[in-house]
């Protein structure tokens, strides 16, 4: 997808050019390059942000975002205090799937890249997670071989770039999601809710619909305080 000026981005998102610049600095929009001091933004990142619209509230910090995704996936959270977890549980019970996508946007910094066609070192998410038969069945999507999508911890990013011969490329087919080292999340597996959010943000209609459906089911199960089949699958996948 083509590059866009901050003014063009602002029109699509319904915000000011200054707000676009702030979103770019926060890593929520991908900057393609700077020309004469002016930012050019990757159009795909703009349309991903616009896809589900803006919602009330500032997106959570990475530690809170990962805690939310872990709780929805039936996992324990040990990096937030009890009061913070209690507030988060209350917020989750009142959230919709699109709102959750918005609130967890800062879970990782997203890099579009190209490399040697390998993805060792990436924790598979999004379309790459569908290579697991259980995930493919859960989302009712067929595994695809296009590109790669996954997470890596910030301290391991440079080594990953070297190992896989990665270079920044807005048209690249490798999506690297870099998680801050102080997020609390160990980046040792990908919670099912995180896979769902990544798919929900896809520009592919079927993938997006599948991600939102699973997120809704996880939220419904969380609100009912029951051990939903989707959450059982999530725990089985991380063993």
Distance separating alpha carbons of residues 141 and 130, to the nearest angstrom: 7
pLDDT tens-digit map of 192-220: 999 999 999 988 999 999 999 999 999 99
Q: What is the predicted pLDDT for the residue at 238?
A: 43
| CA 42/CA 45 separation, integer angstroms | 6
Q: What band does 13 get if pLDDT is binned at 50, 70 and 90? A: confident
Question: Shortest CA distance to 93 belongs to which of 211, 224, 194?
Answer: 224
Mean pLDDT of the chain: 88
Under the banding of pLDDT at 50, 70 and 90, the label for residue 47 is: confident
Q: What is the pLDDT of residue 92?
A: 96
**Predicted pLDDT at 31:** 83
Q: How confident is the model at residue 94 (pLDDT cuts 50, 70, 90)?
A: very high
- Whole-number pLDDT of residue 235: 45
| Single pTM value for the model | 0.81
Phi then psi dihedrals of residue 120, to 5 deg: -60, 135
Cα distance between residue 94 and residue 92, in whole Å: 5
CA distance 116 to 52: 33
pLDDT, average across residues 55-71? 90
Return the higher-pLDDT residue of 183 and 29: 183
Virtual CA dihedral for 116, 119, 120, 123, nearest 10 degrees?
A: 160
pLDDT tens for each residue of 126-174: 999 999 999 999 999 998 877 899 999 999 999 999 999 999 887 889 9
State the CB neighbour count (10 A cutoff) for residue 37.
5
d(CA 83, CA 17) in angstroms, rounded, equals 37
d(CA 159, CA 164): 9
């Amino acid at each position: 997808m083509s590059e866009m000026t901050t003014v063009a981005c602002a029109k699509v998102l319904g915000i000011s050019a200054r707000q676009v610049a702030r979103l770019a600095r926060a890593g929520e929009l991908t900057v393609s390059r700077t020309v004469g001091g002016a930012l050019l933004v990757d159009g795909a990142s703009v349309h991903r942000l616009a896809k589900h619209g803006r919602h009330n509230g500032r997106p959570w910090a990475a530690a809170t975002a990962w805690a939310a995704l872990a709780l929805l996936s039936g996992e324990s959270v040990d990096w937030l205090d009890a009061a913070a977890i209690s507030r988060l549980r209350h917020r989750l019970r009142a959230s919709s799937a699109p709102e959750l996508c918005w609130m967890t946007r800062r879970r990782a910094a997203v890099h579009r890249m190209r490399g040697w066609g390998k993805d060792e070192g990436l924790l598979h998410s999004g379309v790459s997670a569908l290579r697991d038969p259980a995930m493919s069945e859960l989302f009712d999507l067929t595994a695809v071989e296009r590109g790669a999508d996954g997470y890596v911890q910030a301290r391991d990013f440079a080594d990953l770039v070297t190992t896989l011969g990665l270079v920044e490329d807005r048209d690249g087919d490798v999506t690297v999601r870099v998680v801050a080292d102080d997020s609390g999340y160990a980046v040792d597996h990908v919670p099912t809710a995180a896979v769902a959010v990544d798919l929900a943000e896809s520009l592919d209609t079927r993938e997006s619909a599948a991600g939102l459906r699973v997120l809704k089911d996880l939220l419904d199960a969380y609100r009912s305080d029951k051990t939903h089949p989707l959450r059982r699958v999530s725990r089985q996948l991380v063993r």
